[in-house]
Amino acid sequence: MTESDNTPAYKDTSLPVEERVQDLISRMTLGEKVSQMINSSPAIERLGVPEYNWWNECLHGVARAGIATVFPQAIGLAATWNTKLMHRVAVAISDEARAKHHDAIRQDNRDIYFGLTFWTPNINIFRDPRWGRGQETYGEDPYLTTRFGVAFVKGLQGDDPKYLKLVATPKHFAVHSGPEAVRHGFDARVSARDMKQTYLPAFKACVQEAKAESIMGAYNRTNGEPCCAGPTLLQKILRDEWGFEGYVVSDCGAISDIYKHHHVVDTPEEAAALAVKNGCDLNCGDTFPALFVAVSQGLIAEEDIDRALARLFSARFRLGMFDPPDTVPYAQIPIEVNDCAEHRKLALQVARESIVLLKNENSFLPLDKNIKSIAVVGPNADDVEVLLGNYNGTPSKAFTPLEGIRNIVPQAEVRYARGCELSGDDTSGLAEAAEAAAQADVAVVVVGLSQAIEGEEGEVENAGDRADLRLPDIQRKLLETIRDTGTPMVVVLINGSALAVNWANENAAAIVEAWYTGQAAGTAIAEVLFGDYNPGGRLPVTFVKSADQLPPFEDYSMAGRTYRYMNDEPLYRFGYGLSYTSFAYDDLALSAKEIRPGETVEITVAVQNTGERAGDEVVQLYLGDVEASVPVPIRQLQGFRRITLQPGEKQTVSFELAPEQMCLIDDNGDRTIEPGIFEVSVGGGQPAPGANALAQSFEVTGETTVIE
């Protein structure tokens, strides 16, 4: 408290945040302290601490807080392979979040989902396509996930030197990707090699490079330790090795899992004490109130609670919650920015860039806008809800594929028939769909999945993970019915994970992967179908031919998983996507053919649009360590760049391979660079027979070097 005006130090904006936080905590009773460590924190009126709910969502737009711009689901964002665009999305989301928060405060609304601490992004590795929550991730690759996670966190948290715009919360730390049905008691067993090579890189980068203020723990155990109370993850790795100084929040109900399902301890008091002592600061759930009794039982010291509380209030102070609004730049963002024209335009652009063209036999697409009749059929052809994914907001207007097609060819006769439901055995609509297709010049069949089929445990009854990667039987019957009419068929997929569409690949004239594309889905899909937009998205996951190509779901070893370790030929490779134009590569050059451990390699390649229309190419760099002494990935993505080229235009693209990108994980768990040959491949996809890619090698000479 300053003597001159009796103002408590925690209210003095001229003082450092640390000093203000400590002053505030020193004035609290133990009961008040504990009350601030759950997601729904009550007001402490005598100290002027307002009520606050820490639970807020913005996976692909501000969620569950009324009207907001809804961008493509996270897996669709990753399919853009465009981190600059991703950053723009995050800035738009954070603008809307700030505007909504301050508008709510002006109306004395402090409800859930109107705060500034957001539990996103989900940077878990989509290691198995059966996982229902994989749609929330940026795919199966650690490097792609890292670059998208960093771009998103930076865009959410802002760049003001004093204030955080929002708090981003990468989740679920750290080894977490199903099965959903057993997540509350599951123990993910993982080697040190897979941990460092696959499961941790994106979290490390979000902490060290993007400066994420918060981390959310996972429900499961990892190697025997509950992720929300494990000293290895939360203390040794996160804080000691990476230097994380922010706060950790539990997943919702995860602290009660510690005694109810993991059976690591027997009581709520023990579970709460174990979590806080090991570094979990905030409980989404109802277990941390037991800390009050845990102190009296000697299970935890009040100093441990103070440490957690300091991390929490540091975030609230840095968000400007205890400062006059006119001193916080982000508090001035007007509510009119929410769902504004600029953000709707951005949502359309992202939707366009997320779409992946999987098949285009004899250049069947784009369709002629002078088409006389078109049939639009399928359970996902005219359903707004399916476009929005999960953890979604509510758009003021969303366009279904049917609406998009009608808008882009208003003169054509558009015949619509739902045909069937997403699942089940009702065939009564197939005849109507067949009739519509038989009378049309082309049939666009919009099939796929929805949150009723894939999603989070408990989100929808009987939904979650998938055992079968094929389309549901009734949808396969719909496709066969349309094929039998003889009308050329274009298949549009709306889904959040890989589908084994082998039959469609053999029988459809074209296949378009559209994901859960958000509010602008229908417009973007129609623009692609009719050539107003040339698709340039690429797959952020491998599309396998069947689940038979996968190891057991519960096995967290990366052996045989994803493009990095899979020897079988998939249906569509990670990084795959077609265009309405063509690209050629030449002049691949490396700055050195021989380097020492710790040196970098500069790589350049020339890319030319050799077709007749403008288009986007995603230049992909893969690295293979061909002489490693321990198991390593077959190849790994280590660079990518999405570029736009006009017909005939040529551009030189540059990459830099840093020493850490040449590392392997040795048998001691250390990151080392070994002498040996490395193969670099640069092109429009992975190296493969007939692939549009160039390759060269370089050699690392000298002694094996530990770099971490």
Tokens 């989100």 found at:
459
Q: For the residues 546-557, what does the mean pLDDT come to?
A: 98
| Domains along the sequence of the chain with CATH | 27-52+167-318 (3.20.20.300), 351-565 (3.40.50.1700), 583-706 (2.60.40.10)
Q: Return d(Cα 216, Cα 124) in angstroms, integer.
A: 11
Tens of pLDDT, residues 118-133: 999 999 999 999 999 9
Paired tokens of 628: 């490693």
Supply the pLDDT for residue 668: 87
Distances (CA, A) of 500 to 135, 353, 444, 555, 702: 16, 23, 19, 21, 46
3 a catalytic residue: no
Tens of pLDDT, residues 640-668: 999 999 999 999 999 999 999 999 999 88
Supply the pLDDT for residue 462: 67
Supply the pLDDT for residue 259: 98
Supply the pLDDT for residue 3: 41
Please check whether residue 192 is in contact with residue 665, taking contact to mean a CB–CB distance below 8 angstroms: yes
Q: What are phi and psi of 361, to 5 degrees?
A: -65, 125
Q: With a cut of 70, say whether residue 637 has pLDDT above it.
A: yes
**Closest to 699 measured CA to CA, from 590, 619, 621:** 590
Please check whether residue 659 is in contact with residue 668, taking contact to mean a CB–CB distance below 8 angstroms: no
Please check whether residue 582 is in contact with residue 611, taking contact to mean a CB–CB distance below 8 angstroms: yes
The vertex-156 CA angle with 387 and 102, nearest 5°, equals 90
Beta bridge partners of 489: 443
H or E segment and range at residue 679:
strand 676-683
Q: For the residues 138-145, what does the mean pLDDT come to?
A: 98
Tens of pLDDT, residues 483-499: 999 999 999 999 999 99
Q: Strands 705-706 and 671-673: what pairing?
A: antiparallel
Supply the pLDDT for residue 2: 47
Alpha helices in 279-340 (DSSP H): 291-296, 302-318
End-to-end CA distance of the chain: 45
**Closest to 378 measured CA to CA, from 232, 256, 478:** 478
Q: Return d(Cα 205, Cα 437) in angstroms, integer.
A: 50
pLDDT category of residue 563 using cuts at 50, 70 and 90: very high
**Closest to 389 measured CA to CA, from 435, 431, 351:** 351
Q: For the residues 338-363, what does the mean pLDDT come to?
A: 98
Supply the pLDDT for residue 5: 67
Q: Return d(Cα 443, Cα 454) in angstroms, integer.
A: 26
Tens of pLDDT, residues 588-604: 999 999 999 999 999 99
Alpha helices in 491-576 (DSSP H): 502-507, 521-529, 562-565
Tokens 């705060």 found at:
115
**Closest to 620 measured CA to CA, from 643, 646, 638:** 638
Q: What percent of the chain has pLDDT over 70?
A: 99
Catalytic residue among 194, 353, 454, 456: 454
Q: What are phi and psi of 131, to 5 degrees?
A: -70, 125
Supply the pLDDT for residue 463: 67
Q: For the residues 401-419, what does the mean pLDDT come to?
A: 98
Please check whether residue 512 is in contact with residue 357, taking contact to mean a CB–CB distance below 8 angstroms: yes
> Comparing 365-379, 420-434, 459-473, 487-501, which segment has the lowest mean pLDDT?
459-473
Q: With a cut of 50, say whether residue 74 has pLDDT above it.
A: yes
Burial of 118 (0-12, 13-18, 19+ CB in 10 A): buried
Report the C-alpha dihedral over residues 13, 16, 20, 25, rounded to 10 degrees. 160
Averaged pLDDT of the chain = 97
Q: With a cut of 70, say whether residue 558 has pLDDT above it.
A: yes
Q: For the residues 509-515, what does the mean pLDDT come to?
A: 99
Catalytic residue among 180, 225, 251, 353: 251
Tens of pLDDT, residues 420-460: 999 999 999 999 999 999 999 999 999 999 999 999 988 77
Please check whether residue 126 is in contact with residue 177, taking contact to mean a CB–CB distance below 8 angstroms: yes
Tens of pLDDT, residues 255-276: 999 999 999 999 999 999 999 9
454 a catalytic residue: yes
